[in-house]
């Protein structure tokens, strides 16, 4: 689900961002066990919000390269 009107402060850039301001993913831990994920280039579009456990499982699968191939 996309959520708008999230706090402007507290967003953290991915450690894989290139530092030049392009292609950056930002995340914001939220109360109630959720995490917001957005594109730093267009924050006004809002952010996808996931349960923290789901996001953590996804990130772990990416790190292990254990995602289904299509």
What pLDDT does residue 14 have?
80
The length of the chain in residues reads 70
What pLDDT does residue 55 have?
93
- Residues 34-61: tens digit of each pLDDT: 999 999 889 999 999 999 999 999 989 9
Domain boundaries, the chain: 1-6+27-70
Whether 32 and 44 have beta carbons less than 8 Å apart is answered as no
What pLDDT does residue 19 have?
62
- Residues 4-38: tens digit of each pLDDT: 999 999 999 887 766 665 668 999 999 989 999 99
Q: What is the pTM of this model?
A: 0.80
Report in angstroms the alpha-carbon separations of 30 from 20, 48, 65.
26, 12, 27
């Amino acid at each position: 689900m996309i959520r708008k009107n999230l706090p402007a402060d507290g967003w953290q850039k991915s450690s894989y961002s290139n530092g030049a301001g392009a292609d950056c993913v930002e995340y914001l831990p939220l109360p109630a066990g959720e995490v917001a994920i957005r594109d730093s280039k267009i924050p006004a579009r809002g952010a996808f919000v996931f349960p923290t456990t789901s996001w953590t499982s996804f990130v772990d699968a990416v790190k292990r390269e254990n995602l289904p191939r299509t």
